[in-house]
Amino acid sequence: MIDQLYRKAILTVAERDSVEKLLRARAWPVAQRFVAGEDIPSAVQAMKDLQADGISSNMDLLGEFIESAEDCTRFADNVLGVVEAMQGAGITPYVSIKLSSVGQGKDEDGQDLGLKNARRIITKAKEYGGFVCLDMEDHPRVDQTLAQLRTLIGEFGHGHVGTVLQSYLYRSLKDREGLDDLKPNLRFVKGAYLEPESVAYPDKADVDANYRRLVYQHLKSGAYTNVATHDERLIEDVKRFVLAHGIGKDGFEFQLLYGIRRDLQKQLVKDGYRVRVYLPYGRDWYPYFSRRIAERPSNALFVLQGMFKG
């Protein structure tokens, strides 16, 4: 409950225009810990640095609350540029997209624009043997995102498109079970959006318990599982679970956030596990940055120290 109250307080304050203006002006030097630059060359260099340590990347061009259809299509074009840049750098493309950012819910010639733009991105990624992860957003978008995932897996296969499930949502266990026939590649996270208690667990212990249930069930299903957490207790539990159930290290990977616990990332690689880092970049970094601050008090303290240092 305390964690939920802290997150709610931070996200509520962060939404204030005056706070956003201050942080955008003064926090970018600190935000670079969590965001791999504002342009493609910076992000590609970050990917190469990770690759040198045996760590893969999940590239995410940051952008939220994109309103017009034209801007959504332009954003999708920019993601295609990311796919091309990764291929050009000798890195198999792996990108995340928010369907809302590419037009989900907007009609264009009788088609959902988000689905249309997602098809363009996945087509290009598949051409290079790559993968597109459909980021999960707040709870009102879950049904449509899962429906569109089903459509896209039908068209491209589960080896080229997947999505994310959030353990703080009550519904996620049933959502996962409902996808079993697709054998989907799923990324499991705890959840970072501010959700009401009517749809999400308020207590961390319940979120963690549901996280274990989701990951264990998906591992047992035989579908590829992305364990996205920095919680070392959960990581150790997953290690014990796969060992006890004879699940090979090629059936899952650990995913961590850029700029957080690089030592843990390297240790997991050293221990023979697949590791991928969620690597966000772009000029629209503030919403993502706010959610990182809201995850734990130590992140907020780090930001304050960086802003007022000297």
Between the CA of residue 57 and those of 49, 85, 250, 309, what are the distances in Å? 10, 13, 17, 31
Cα gap 54→47, rounded to integer Å = 10
Residues 161 and 269 occupy one common structural domain: yes
pLDDT band, very low/low/confident/very high, at 13 (cuts 50, 70, 90): very low
Q: Which of 7, 119, 141, 187 is catalytic?
A: 187
Instruction: Please give the pLDDT value at position 282.
Output: 85
Residues 69 and 194 occupy one common structural domain: yes
Instruction: Please give the pLDDT value at position 10.
Output: 45
Q: Is the pLDDT at 265 greater than 80, yes or no?
A: yes
Handedness of CA 77, 68, 196, 5 (dihedral sign): positive
Between the CA of residue 164 and those of 30, 43, 91, 145, 179, what are the distances in Å? 27, 22, 22, 10, 12
Cα gap 159→180, rounded to integer Å = 14
Write the pLDDT tens digit of every residue in 54-97. Answer: 999 999 998 777 889 999 999 999 999 999 999 999 999 999 99
Please indicate whether residue 112 is annotated as part of the active site.
no
Q: In this structure, is residue 89 part of a structural domain?
A: yes
Residues 19 and 42 occupy one common structural domain: no
Instruction: Please give the pLDDT value at position 172.
Output: 98
Which residues does residue 163 pair with via DSSP β-bridges, in sequence order?
134, 186
The average pLDDT across 116-120 equals: 98
Residues 81 and 167 occupy one common structural domain: yes
Residues 7 and 84 occupy one common structural domain: no
Q: In this structure, is residue 251 part of a structural domain?
A: yes
Share of the chain above pLDDT 90, in %: 73
First to last CA, the chain: 36
Instruction: Please give the pLDDT value at position 9.
Output: 47
Q: In this structure, is residue 13 part of a structural domain?
A: yes
Instruction: Please give the pLDDT value at position 89.
Output: 95
Cα gap 276→215, rounded to integer Å = 17
Q: In this structure, is residue 289 part of a structural domain?
A: no
Q: Is the pLDDT at 306 greater than 60, yes or no?
A: no
Which secondary-structure segment (H or E) carries 242?
A: helix 232-244
Residues 50 and 130 occupy one common structural domain: yes
Is the backbone of residue 165 left (phi > 0), alpha (psi -120 to 50) or beta? beta
- What is the average pLDDT score of the chain? 88
Q: Is the pLDDT at 194 greater than 70, yes or no?
A: yes
Cα gap 126→123, rounded to integer Å = 5
pLDDT band, very low/low/confident/very high, at 283 (cuts 50, 70, 90): confident
Q: DSSP code of 132?
A: E
Helices and strands per DSSP (H, E), number in the chain:
13, 10
The average pLDDT across 131-136 equals: 97
Q: In this structure, is residue 230 part of a structural domain?
A: yes
Instruction: Please give the pLDDT value at position 35.
Output: 87
Residue scoring higher pLDDT (118 or 299): 118
Residues 233 and 303 occupy one common structural domain: no
Look up the domain containing 224 and give its range.
35-284
pLDDT band, very low/low/confident/very high, at 301 (cuts 50, 70, 90): very low
Cα gap 154→149, rounded to integer Å = 8
Q: Is the pLDDT at 288 greater than 80, yes or no?
A: no
Q: Is the pLDDT at 234 greater than 60, yes or no?
A: yes
Q: How many CB atoms are closer than 10 A to CB 9?
A: 11
Residues 234, 235, 237: CA angle, nearest 5 degrees = 60
Instruction: Please give the pLDDT value at position 290.
Output: 67
Residue 55 φ/ψ, nearest 5 degrees: -110, 130
Q: Which of 7, 60, 112, 135 is catalytic?
A: 135
Supply the CATH number for residue 225's domain: 3.20.20.220
Count the domains in the chain: 2
Residues 9 and 140 occupy one common structural domain: no
Please indicate whether residue 24 is annotated as part of the active site.
no
